[in-house]
Amino acid sequence: MAFPWLSASILFPIGAALFIPFIPDPGNGRQVRWFALGVALTTFLITVGAYLNGYDPGSSELQLVERVSWLPDVGLAWSVGADGLSMPLILLTSFITALAVLAAWPVTFKPRLFYFLILAMDGGQIAVFAVQDMLLFFLAWELELLPVYLLLAIWGGKKRQYAATKFILYTAGSSLFILLVALAMGFFGGGTPSFEYTELAVKSFGRGFQVLCYAGLLIAFGVKLPIVPLHTWLPDAHGEATAPVHMLLAGILLKMGGYALLRFNAQLLPEAHAQFAPLLVVLGVVNIIYAALTSFAQRNLKRKIAYSSISHMGFVLIGIGSFSDLGTSGAMLQMISHGLIGASLFFLVGATYDRTHTLQLDEMGGVGQKMRIMFALWTVCALASLALPGMSGFVSELMVFAGFATSEAYSLSFRVVMAILAAVGVILTPIYLLSMLREIFFGRENAELASHTNLVDAEPREVYVISCLLVPIIGIGLYPRLMTDSYKASIEALVARDRIAYAQVAPGAAPGLIRPAAPLQAPALS
């Protein structure tokens, strides 16, 4: 019997977290944090083992499948598996979580509860990407909400209760759409209900039914991505969170929305996707421009980076709606790239706040001479975020642009207009990021801040965390196939399936924007 890699990666961190209350703690959390780091690193090694010992990146088939009938009367089964849509994000989740535990080293307030929640999130977030049952997906989606709420409400800033409450209202309220759609799809057609993706993929849902389900899921996943105007919880949450929670929010949480759009909206509801795809493109452009302009105007460092994240996720929407292999592959790479870059930027935000005790750019300045290593780390990560060639962000955004611009699904005028508008956001990004660096490190000197005794340069632990993130950022930027080959087959199968539905639906769905494409033969979804 093969080792249950995916089940172990989900259940091990959750089970290990249950032992945390029994770990002796003299009050500084030293023993607890080493235990949590060991668990997080072991979980990462388990996911790497899954990739190396049972995953074939050249296949679009579902792999590493583990299935146990759980509640057969309601069609619920413990069903996990991985393909190109999920395996890269499983690896990203365990990798970012391990670094987040290391970033949480200074936490001394209620360390047992803090690390318990971090490890519980680790298993819950891996489950979101690994489960192959829609009802189980909903349970995993909900499992992740409570730890985030408590991490915000207990360890957040001055407005932590407001931010945590807003987060739970937005995300828990919108997730009800997932439950309703799951029940509707599972019980569709009568008989014994089934919520497994492979069975839902072969059901003959009517076009109107697909449109209703797609709309509900778009709201649910649009909150998590987030899509403007469903985004307002994110700046508040980032504005009050601590550095390790920032890393989990930006590095993993937002990717759950993008993954779910690919898995459910694009893969299981292809006819509805053909009708909604132009809307996704428009919403992506709105995300890019609106969030870039808003980030440009922010004077709070955390909120500036938060809006930058929203802007970058707009490329994911454009790629998903592009109906091209290159564009959709770019959307997937953008999720991975932003997970790494966003985690690095927010970690640096936390490290900078620990020294300056302020998030207002007007109160910073003149600290570049005392924090030269910190300035160097900030500069490299900011250049990665503004898509400097040689960094992963450049490759992913270029793939989205090229894939959308060459897509046969849209008229030339629509592609030109959308590309020009999206380019506005791309131009704004280096402006607000580089001006931010100037204000933090070389702006008008704050005499009180400059004389602060805690104004020390980057510590070895902080350099190590950023280095771990920069290695894949630069590696992917120089040789993208390190990542794209791991999901290429699954993306091609997904796009082929969508283009068949698009050729049947699109001519009457969006006249003037979409034109029919030649029918393709798509491989069956396994």
Percent of the chain with pLDDT over 90: 64
Q: Is residue 443 part of a domain?
A: yes
Q: Is residue 411 part of a domain?
A: yes
Instruction: Choose among 285, 278, 226, 283: nearest CA to 257.
Output: 226
pLDDT at 1 (0 to 100): 57
Mean pLDDT, rounded, for 431-452: 79
Q: Residues 305, 306, 308, CA angle at the centre, nearest 5°?
A: 60
pLDDT in tens, 119-154: 999 999 999 999 999 999 999 999 888 999 999 999
pLDDT at 221 (0 to 100): 95
Mean pLDDT, rounded, for 24-43: 88
The CA distance from 249 to 107, in Å, is 18
Instruction: Choose among 149, 171, 163: nearest CA to 237.
Output: 163
State how many domains the chain has: 1
Reply yes or no on whether the pLDDT at 449 is more than 90.
Answer: no
Q: Is residue 377 part of a domain?
A: yes
Q: Helix axis angle, 5-17 relative to 111-130, nearest 10°?
A: 160
Mean pLDDT, the chain, whole residue set: 88
pLDDT at 452 (0 to 100): 61
Q: How far is CA 361 from CA 167, 254, 257, 425, 439, in A?
A: 25, 26, 31, 22, 6
Mean pLDDT, rounded, for 217-241: 92
Q: Is residue 518 part of a domain?
A: no
pLDDT at 525 (0 to 100): 42
Mean pLDDT, rounded, for 416-424: 92
φ/ψ bin of 366: left (φ > 0), alpha (ψ from -120 to 50), beta (otherwise): left
pLDDT band at 74 (very low <50, low <70, confident <90, very high): confident
Mean pLDDT, rounded, for 101-107: 91
Mean pLDDT, rounded, for 97-104: 95
Mean pLDDT, rounded, for 425-429: 89
pLDDT at 371 (0 to 100): 86
**Chain centroid to CA 126:** 12
Cross-strand pairs, 67: 79
pLDDT at 513 (0 to 100): 44
Q: Is residue 516 part of a domain?
A: no
pLDDT at 234 (0 to 100): 92
pLDDT in tens, 355-405: 888 888 888 877 777 888 999 999 999 999 999 999 999 999 999 999 999
For the record, the structure tokens of 380 come out as 């490299």
pTM score: 0.93
Residue-number span of the structural domain to which 234 is assigned: 5-509
Q: Is residue 523 part of a domain?
A: no
Cross-strand pairs, 68: 78
